[in-house]
Amino acid sequence: MALKFQKLHPTFVAEAGDVDLRTVHDRTTLDEIRAGMDEYAILVFHDQPFTDEEQIAFAQRLDGALHTRTGSAAIGANRLADEAVSDISNVGDDGALLKPGDRRRAYVLGNRLWHTDASFVDPPGRYSMLSAKVIPSVPADTEYADMRTAYDTLPAEMKAQLEDLRAHHSVTHSRWMLGFEFSEAEHARLPGAVHPVVRTLPRSGRKSLYVAAHVSRIIDWPIPEGRLLIHELMEHATRPERVYRHRWRVGDLVIWDNRATMHRACPFDDQRHKRELRRVTTLDVPDAVAV
């Protein structure tokens, strides 16, 4: 039976029909998911009780190579052991809430900035797959912005101006904006990467803005003008009509295309409520799909 998608926003995001992704190995269903990603950029799957190993295996079946050069790996060991699984949580190795002065907590707070996963490496991230394990009783949502529609709605003269621009993406820059301090050795492990400001999505042919908090500068532009331009583009991209807010429930798996969206975690009282999510991100490399 073909997968059914129900649109959750006028321009992007869809909820997928009943399917257990742990058991999906057939090319037909995987191709339907990829086609859904081309159309909606974000797909929401409910009731997906993944183990970390099952989540990794599904990500590889869907999209091939995995991102393991995470920013958090530069500041300490991953409590989940496998660097392909990012720990998007506010708890430590002992399961207790991270204290206010803990560097791991300070780093995770950077997820509240509008960002794209793994844009600070080359090749950058393509699909992120975030699995909800523990969700608090208070709202602890994630917001997503449609960067394809953001590009489509720019004036023609702005599109022409952006066409050949490149930007440097750096996770140390985005954390620096929050006062996070990296050591010299940590900086050396996270040099950043350069990517076009406008990306063309190969499968759909649509164009998308590729800017977010990780952008430190526009290449070959003076820093003040370049940062103002990025700020203006991000304001344009995050207008309310271009934003979807996801209310998590345990067992959700949300897949998004980092080339076509930005996202951010919404604030909640992380000193009172536990929130644990696990993310696996694939790399934007040619012919990455592996069944």
- How sure is the predictor about 291, in pLDDT bands with cuts at 50, 70 and 90? very low
Q: pTM of the prediction?
A: 0.95
User: Model confidence over 191-203: pLDDT tens digits?
Assistant: 999 999 999 999 9
- Per-residue confidence (pLDDT) for residue 222, from 0 to 100: 94
Strand order in the sheet with 166-169: 193-196, 166-169, 215-218
Q: Rounded to an integer, what distance in angstroms lies between the CA atom of residue 289 and that of residue 123?
A: 15
Listing DSSP states for 184-227 in one string gives HHHHHH---EEEESEEE-TTT--EEE---TTEEEETTS-HHHHH
Distances, alpha carbon 223 to alpha carbons 154, 216, 277, in Å: 22, 9, 36
Q: Rounded to an integer, what distance in angstroms lies between the CA atom of residue 291 and that of residue 277?
A: 25
Distances, alpha carbon 225 to alpha carbons 113, 218, 230, in Å: 21, 9, 9
Give yes or no for residue 163 having a pLDDT over 80: yes
Give yes or no for residue 252 having a pLDDT over 70: yes
Distances, alpha carbon 143 to alpha carbons 100, 121, 126, 184, 266, in Å: 24, 23, 18, 33, 7
- Per-residue confidence (pLDDT) for residue 288, from 0 to 100: 54
Average pLDDT estimate for 152-177:
96
Closest CA to 50 of 142, 129, 144: 129
Give yes or no for residue 290 having a pLDDT over 50: no
- Secondary structure (3-state) at 93: coil
- Per-residue confidence (pLDDT) for residue 154, from 0 to 100: 98
- How sure is the predictor about 287, in pLDDT bands with cuts at 50, 70 and 90? low
User: Model confidence over 95-104: pLDDT tens digits?
Assistant: 999 999 899 9
Amino acid present at 48: Q
- Per-residue confidence (pLDDT) for residue 286, from 0 to 100: 84
- Per-residue confidence (pLDDT) for residue 74, from 0 to 100: 63
Q: Rounded to an integer, what distance in angstroms lies between the CA atom of residue 282 and that of residue 178?
A: 27
Least-confidence region, from 99-108, 116-125, 155-164, 254-263: 99-108
**Token reading at 179:** 């006062």
- Per-residue confidence (pLDDT) for residue 79, from 0 to 100: 79
Q: Rounded to an integer, what distance in angstroms lies between the CA atom of residue 68 and that of residue 282?
A: 9
**Token reading at 51:** 């183990």
- How sure is the predictor about 92, in pLDDT bands with cuts at 50, 70 and 90? very high
**Token reading at 275:** 């929130």
User: What domains can be seen in the chain, in order of their start residue?
Assistant: 5-283 (3.60.130.10)
User: Mean pLDDT score of the chain, rounded to an integer?
Assistant: 94
Average pLDDT estimate for 144-155:
98
Average pLDDT estimate for 155-172:
96
Average pLDDT estimate for 86-115:
94
Cβ burial of 65 (10 Å; 0-12, 13-18, 19+) is middle
Average pLDDT estimate for 162-185:
94
- How sure is the predictor about 73, in pLDDT bands with cuts at 50, 70 and 90? low
pLDDT > 90 fraction of the chain, expressed in percent and rounded = 88
Neighbouring CB atoms inside 10 A of 156's CB total 7
Q: Say if CB 289 and CB 126 are below 8 A apart.
A: no
